């Protein structure tokens, strides 16, 4: 049943019906959720909510906009308070057509003059419309409607304007003749005497509607006894909300704090619920492309890094400061800058010192016999969905992460083809042999990994592995399986590093894509690397050097080098 038919049946059936006032989409929703069958689109409430007077200060098209929000947000019919019809018969025709097109189920017009004044403001001085002219307006409205069930209610203001019962009845009779579907007989008295007198005389010639705002203590049973079709609770949500807003504003103002009101007001989630946030979430599932598998990062920050000398007495090397902040913080910022927000960290040595905000931590055993893959195994749950594994002692440009993430391969590593220029050739490093020389590969060529070695003197090295391994969701599952197999014999994990893992992946027949760069990163292996690393933010280091104490000292080319920690 359409909304107009629902409204028509509410006023024509034998049982008393109730309409509850609403003045915007939110209050309309609240009316529906409370169980009401229909909404009264009150002119008083809508104008008050807009901050204007109930004197047609809001134009009828502005009212129409509000009604559209109310109709869209609810499934029960709206009977709108159409004041005097906002003009003559011609305006009335247009109003009816527009109301129908916005999903409004009916309109009530009152026999006063445009611009009207609210009936409770000096009602006795309000002139009534000429009866014939008003009948013409009702006829025009009738003829304009597309849906024959669209309801047109004629509101008789004779009592408000100080005319008696006879005039009220005369007008009601004429309005019914002109095609009104129901009569709303209004009164500003504290007692329902005059409306009940009208009802007795009216004898249910058409459905009769009352607005008991002033005679509010009339028992509902009395409406039933007098054969009333419907009553309108005309402005009570507006008035309730004004009281609540005034109290809340005052309390917050005087407390200069929110605590006194928090328990007295609805939660923000209740606001979202009323707005229909759930429906949008469901629709997103239906209509938006499946979300990209967002890569997370797993950063290995468990090793002390003895080569860092005194710098790592109380912290792992991932927490050594470079340029005023720990290496791990630099790494986290670089990942975040390219949209990788889910950052997980494996910590071990002096784990309490690794506690930067916004990271998820896994704790690995720091027993010496265990190595990288054992550390990874403490974070096995990360191996679902795309993942970038990265060492916690590298500083790198953000494009390196972007390129790894963009790779469609299940496994992908980044290498430095400038590996020969490394200052410290004695440091621990992994060297990579590829299926072709990445330096001469063209834009279209893909380069794949053959093996990873630790010996820089080996033949055919194409670059140094920079400590990044990107896994697709499938790649992550494969890695997880390999690690789980190893974990079945934990001893076999002693000394197994990621190099071993990469070689194992290749041995199992999977392909590891190799991306390359020249430089653009620093592997902070020694205390001197920590100084090198400061090139990234040299000025900040200089500044921090001034206000900090010596943290470590190392010999470098015959000189004693002192290192400060910010
Ligand atoms: C309204 O709610 O705007 C009405 C009813 O017209 S009354 O305010 O009682 O006139
Ligand atoms: Mg009104």
CA–centroid distance, 188 to ligand 2, in Å, is 13
pTM of the model as a whole: 0.69
Mean of pLDDT values over 225-254: 98
Q: Are residues 346 and 495 in the same domain?
A: yes
Q: Which of 20, 39, 44, 57 to mutate to test the pocket of ligand 1 (most atoms within 8 A of CB)?
A: 44
Does residue 423 lie within any of the structural domains? no
- Count: domains in the chain: 2
Identify whether 181 is a catalytic site residue. no
Please, what is the angle between helix 89-101 and helix 131-144, to 10°? Answer: 30
Does residue 61 lie within any of the structural domains? yes
pLDDT higher for 554 or 524? 524
Does residue 279 lie within any of the structural domains? no
Instruction: Give the Cα separation of 319 and 538 in Å (integer).
Output: 18
**Domain boundary at 244, 259, 281, which?**
244
Closest CA to 316 of 285, 279, 340, 347: 347
**Domain boundary at 212, 244, 276, which?**
244
Q: Are residues 237 and 352 in the same domain?
A: no
CA–centroid distance, 214 to ligand 1, in Å, is 11
**Domain boundary at 244, 272, 305, which?**
244
Q: Are residues 489 and 355 in the same domain?
A: yes
CATH number at residue 536: 3.90.550.10
Does residue 454 lie within any of the structural domains? no
Which residue minimizes the CA distance to atom 5 of ligand 1?
Answer: 234
CATH number at residue 117: 3.20.20.60
Mean of pLDDT values over 227-245: 98
Please identify which of the residues 54, 181, 416, 523 carries the catalytic annotation.
Answer: 54
Instruction: Give the Cα separation of 487 and 489 in Å (integer).
Output: 5
Question: Per-residue pLDDT for 547 more than 70?
Answer: no
Which pLDDT belongs to residue 452? Answer: 93
Does residue 380 lie within any of the structural domains? yes
Ligand 1 site: residues with CB under 6 angstroms? Answer: 42-44, 81, 118-120, 211, 213, 234-235
Compute the Cα dihedral for 349, 350, 353, 359 and give only its sign.
Answer: positive
Does residue 177 lie within any of the structural domains? yes
Mean of pLDDT values over 58-66: 98
Q: Are residues 54 and 150 in the same domain?
A: yes
Q: Are residues 169 and 312 in the same domain?
A: no
Q: Are residues 313 and 391 in the same domain?
A: yes
Q: Are residues 149 and 58 in the same domain?
A: yes
Does residue 19 lie within any of the structural domains? yes
Which pLDDT belongs to residue 544? Answer: 47
CA–centroid distance, 41 to ligand 1, in Å, is 9
User: In terms of residue numbers, what domain contains 208?
Assistant: 3-244
Closest CA to 343 of 373, 301, 395: 301
- Give, in degrees to the nearest 5, the angle at Cα 59 between 189 and 157: 25
Does residue 178 lie within any of the structural domains? yes
Find out whether 536 and 521 touch, Cβ atoms under 8 Å.
no
Which pLDDT belongs to residue 537? Answer: 40
Q: Are residues 219 and 352 in the same domain?
A: no
pLDDT in tens, 477-523: 999 999 998 888 877 777 778 889 999 999 999 999 999 999 888 87
Find out whether 208 and 187 touch, Cβ atoms under 8 Å.
no
pLDDT higher for 372 or 330? 330
Q: Are residues 226 and 315 in the same domain?
A: no
Both tokens of residue 545? 């050097």
Ligand 1 atom at minimal distance to the Cα of residue 83: 6
Q: Which of 48, 83, 119 to mutate to test the pocket of ligand 1 (most atoms within 8 A of CB)?
A: 119
Question: Per-residue pLDDT for 541 more than 80?
Answer: no
Find out whether 394 and 331 touch, Cβ atoms under 8 Å.
yes
């Amino acid at each position: 049943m359409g909304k107009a038919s629902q409204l028509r049946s509410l006023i024509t059936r034998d049982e008393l019906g109730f309409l509850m006032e609403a003045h915007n989409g939110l209050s309309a929703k609240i009316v529906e959720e409370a169980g009401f069958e229909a909404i009264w689109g009150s002119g008083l409430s809508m104008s008050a909510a807009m901050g204007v007077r109930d004197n047609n200060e809001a134009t009828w098209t502005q009212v129409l906009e509000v009604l559209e929000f109310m109709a869209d947000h609810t499934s029960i019919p709206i009977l709108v308070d159409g004041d005097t019809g906002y003009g003559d018969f011609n305006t009335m025709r247009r109003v009816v057509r527009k109301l129908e097109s916005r999903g409004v189920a009916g309109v009530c017009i009152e026999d006063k003059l445009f611009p009207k004044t609210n009936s409770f403001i000096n009602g006795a001085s309000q002139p009534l419309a000429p009866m014939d002219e008003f009948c013409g307006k009702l006829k025009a409205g009738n003829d304009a409607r597309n849906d024959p069930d669209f309801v047109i209610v004629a509101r008789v203001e004779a009592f408000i304007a100080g005319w008696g019962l006879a005039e009220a009845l005369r007008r009601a009779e004429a309005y019914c003749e002109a095609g009104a579907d129901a009569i709303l007989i209004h009164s500003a008295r504290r007692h329902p005497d005059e409306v009940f007198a009208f009802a007795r005389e009216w004898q249910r010639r058409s459905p009769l509607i009352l607005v008991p705002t002033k005679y509010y203590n009339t028992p509902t049973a009395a409406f039933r006894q007098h054969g009333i079709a419907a009553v309108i609770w005309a402005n009570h949500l507006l008035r309730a909300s004004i009281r609540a807003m005034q109290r809340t504003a005052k309390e917050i103002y005087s407390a200069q704090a929110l605590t006194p009101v928090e328990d007295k007001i609805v939660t923000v989630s209740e606001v979202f619920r009323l707005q229909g946030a759930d429906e949008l979430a469901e629709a997103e599932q239906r209509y938006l492309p499946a979300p990209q598998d967002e890569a997370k990062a797993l950063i290995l920050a468990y090793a002390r890094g003895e080569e860092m000398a005194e710098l790592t007495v109380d912290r792992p090397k991932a927490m050594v400061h470079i340029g005023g902040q720990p290496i791990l913080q630099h790494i986290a910022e670089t990942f975040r800058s390219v949209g990788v927000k889910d950052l997980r960290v494996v910590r071990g040595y002096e784990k309490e010192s690794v506690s930067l905000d916004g990271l998820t931590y896994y704790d690995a055993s720091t027993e010496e016999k265990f190595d990288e893959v054992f550390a990874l195994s403490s974070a096995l749950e990360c191996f679902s969905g795309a993942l970038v594994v990265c060492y916690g002692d590298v500083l790198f440009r953000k494009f390196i992460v972007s390129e790894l993430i963009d790779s469609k391969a299940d496994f992908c590593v980044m290498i430095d083809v400038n590996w020969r220029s490394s200052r410290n050739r004695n440091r621990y490093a992994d060297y990579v042999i590829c299926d072709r020389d990445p330096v001469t590969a063209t834009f279209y060529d893909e380069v794949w990994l053959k093996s990873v070695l630790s010996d820089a003197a080996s033949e055919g090295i194409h670059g140094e592995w920079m400590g990044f391994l990107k896994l697709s969701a499938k790649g992550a599952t494969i890695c997880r399986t390999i690690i789980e197999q190893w974990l079945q014999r934990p001893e076999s994990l002693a000394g197994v590093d990621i190099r071993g893992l990469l070689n194992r992946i290749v041995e199992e027949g999977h392909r590891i894509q190799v991306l390359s760069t020249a430089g653009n990163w620093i592997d902070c292996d020694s205390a001197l690397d920590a100084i090198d690393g400061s090139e990234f933010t040299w000025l900040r280091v200089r500044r921090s050097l001034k206000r900090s104490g010596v943290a470590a000292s190392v010999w470098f080319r015959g000189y004693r080098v002192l290192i400060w920690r910010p």
